[in-house]
Amino acid sequence: MDFQRIILLAALAFTLMMMYSAWQRDYGTKPVTPTVASSASTTAGAVKDIPAAPPTSTPVTPAETPVAAAPKGKRVHVVTDLFDADIDSIGGDLRRVDLLKYPVAVDKQDQPTRLLNDGQGEYFVAQSALLPANKESVAPTHTDEFVPEASEYQLQSGENTLRIPLHWSNGSGLEVIKTYTFHRDSYVIDVDLQVKNGTDKAWQGTAYRQLQRSAPATGSSLTNRTYTGAVISSDEKIYSKIAFKDMEKEQLSLDSKQGWVAMMQHYFLGAWVPGAEGSHHLYSKALGDNRYMIGMFDPTITVEPGKDALIPARLYVGPKLPEMLAAVAPNLERTVDYGWLTVLAKPLFWLLDQIHGAVKNWGWSIIILTIFIKLAFFKLSAASYKSMAHMRQVQPKMAAIKERYGDDRQKMNEAMMKLYREEKINPLGGCLPILVQIPVFIALYYMLLENVELRQAPFMLWIKDLSIADPYYVLPIIMGVTMLIQHRLNPTPLDPIQARVMMVLPIVFTVFFIFFPAGLVLYWVVNNSLSIAQQWYITRTMAKAA
């Protein structure tokens, strides 16, 4: 009996440690992020963020030649049904993106989440430009100025696309047009580079695209779950994370015929997906001053005199919605990352999503999902509760053994094992079925934490957001009460110290769960309530049969 409780306590303590650490990572108090100045004001060092040419080709690398500080560019303001964004004329960079459908908080519905940002707070921008392939060719990098045709663009009612062209020319007949195309009801932005060669010589160059961002100034922990950093997909590995600290140790240099690069954070990401066929070169770099970049080169192209060439690409800037991501590029949906628990969390969310499609409320969906999970483990739970009920019946005999042998632990254990054999009791019978359910519980926790669909999802009454803690602590207190009732239904430990520990456990869990997402606490409350009903029925049935 002692061994059984020790295993359960250890498993529950480990579960709480993992969840609390991840919760602190995402919702706990965070240190203030150092202010990162915009690229326009720090461009004196911006030469560092022009990528070096791929080792397999011979483009001229502007990073080898000092570039004068670029002046602050003009801003092009873009408004669509999903975005409020700014494009800077310097490089034609996408510098600011507010996601209009995703407010920062339930009580701040008029303040959209800012994903891309070059102002105060965490720095995160999307860049794309060209590198010349030889000294005879010239090309605009993201430090050169493009000329926009207008300063304001808005997607009008009845329109499905919005095009924003920006022009660059060196005055010798070479022209580059960068065109952003926004689509209604889509977080995918087409970003095309058109090279028009009006010179009398062939032009050669390569397009590059990169994402720059600063690392969030948050505390670190071994069990942190939500990941903020770079991810890539390539021929070599369909999904791979490249943490900021890894960029500081080693630069990525990888050729791949297919794939993408992205920077992701909790619920949201930015990703470049190439449109050109052929071998692409993926790279990363730590720039210093808490700035990092991940990017990719297209294959080198040649544009003959009097000809032009279109270099397409797509930029995804938005929430991590699995179905939408899967339609953008293969394996991009893996950024909804459940880690090693994907095999459990993914089908759990699929089932939860199907339930939500019917009931239209994520809280009730969690309750119904909990019932399904309980039914799936019904026989295992029954075996556990039968074992506990049997233990409760023989507890007077166990107390007599303890009183008879006193402090002689060896003889007491031998007598206990003999009693177990005579009564056909498996001391682990009440423990193992519960241990089997712990991975499911942890997978559900990470599923609730990772999926943006549950972000700011209301339930009822005072629960306005299932992804954050209950503001009035009602659900944690109810959960503590259900744990106390379960404790009363279980046999009392013979060891008085252990008995006191088990009495305190519901209070400890209640305190922990005050900080956890309301959706997870709701799951535990429903699960505990169903367990109480099942355990009470089994205990009563066995008592009548005795």
Query: 400 and 313 in one domain?
Result: no
Q: What percent of the chain has pLDDT over 70?
A: 80
pLDDT at 246: 94
Domains identified in the chain, total number = 2
CA-nearest of 237, 234, 235 to 261 is 234
Specify whether 145 is located in the same domain as 41: yes
**Does residue 299 belong to any structural domain of this protein?**
yes
Cβ(458)–Cβ(412) below 8 Å: no
SS3 state of residue 123: coil
Among 524, 514, 488, residue whose Cα is nearest residue 503: 488
Find, among 303, 125, 60, 77, the residue nearest to 199 by Cα. Answer: 303
Most confident of the ranges 226-230, 253-257, 286-290, 314-318? 314-318
How far apart CA 15 and CA 223 sit, in angstroms, is 11
- Confidence label for 41 from pLDDT (cuts 50, 70 and 90): very low
- 177/157 Cα distance (integer angstroms): 27
Same domain membership, residue 300 and residue 441: no
What does the pLDDT average to over 458-479? Answer: 92
Summary mean pLDDT of the chain: 82
In a domain, 227, yes or no: no
Residue 255 forms part of a structural domain: no
Is residue 76 domain-resident? yes
Q: HSE of 452 in the Cβ direction (CA atoms, 13 Å)?
A: 24
The reply to whether 253 falls in a domain is no
Judge whether 521 lies within some domain: yes
254 belongs to a structural domain:
no
Are residues 299 and 369 located together in one domain of the fold? no
265 inside domain: no
pLDDT class for 199, splitting at 50, 70, 90?
A: very high
Rounded to two decimals, what is the model's pTM? 0.81
Q: Both 438 and 534 in a single domain?
A: yes
Query: Strand pairing of 83-88 and 161-169?
Result: unpaired
Alpha-carbon distances of 66 from 47, 49, 62, 116, 284, rounded to whole Å: 7, 12, 7, 27, 21
Are 11 and 160 within one domain? no
One domain, residues 354 and 435: yes
- For the ranges 100-109, 149-158, 493-502, which has the lowest average pLDDT? 493-502
Q: Which residues contact 514 (CB under 8 A, 6 or more apart)?
A: 469, 470, 473, 476
Same-domain status, 396 and 435: yes
Q: Nearest-CA neighbor of 303 among 207, 208, 173, 205?
A: 205
Say yes or no to pLDDT of 532 above 80. Answer: yes
- The pair of structure tokens assigned to 130 is 């060209």
Do 155 and 173 lie in one domain? The reply is yes
- Give the Cα separation of 415 and 422 in Å (integer): 10
Q: How far is CA 354 from CA 33, 336, 364, in A?
A: 39, 18, 12
In a shared domain, residues 124 and 163: yes
Contact 194, 204 (CB under 8 A): no
For residue 72, the model assigns a pLDDT of 63
What is the percentage of the chain residues whose pLDDT exceeds 90? 52
pLDDT of residue 33: 36
Which band of pLDDT confidence, cut at 50, 70 and 90, is reported for residue 318?
very high
Out of 86-90, 111-115, 271-275, 277-281, pick the least confident.
277-281
Residues 498 and 387 in one domain: yes
Q: What is the CATH number of the domain that holds 50?
A: 2.70.98.90
Q: Which of 351, 395, 417 is nearest to 495 (CA)?
A: 395
Confidence label for 487 from pLDDT (cuts 50, 70 and 90): confident
pLDDT of residue 517: 86
pLDDT single digits (tens) 362-400:
999 999 999 998 888 887 777 777 777 767 677 777 778
**Sorting pLDDT into bands at 50, 70 and 90, what band is 484?**
confident
Q: Looking up tokens 């549950």, which residue turns up?
A: 454
Tell me, yes or no, whether 307 and 390 share the same domain: no
Structural domain of 188: 32-216+273-279+294-317
Kindly report the number of other CB atoms within 10 A of residue 163's CB atom. Answer: 12
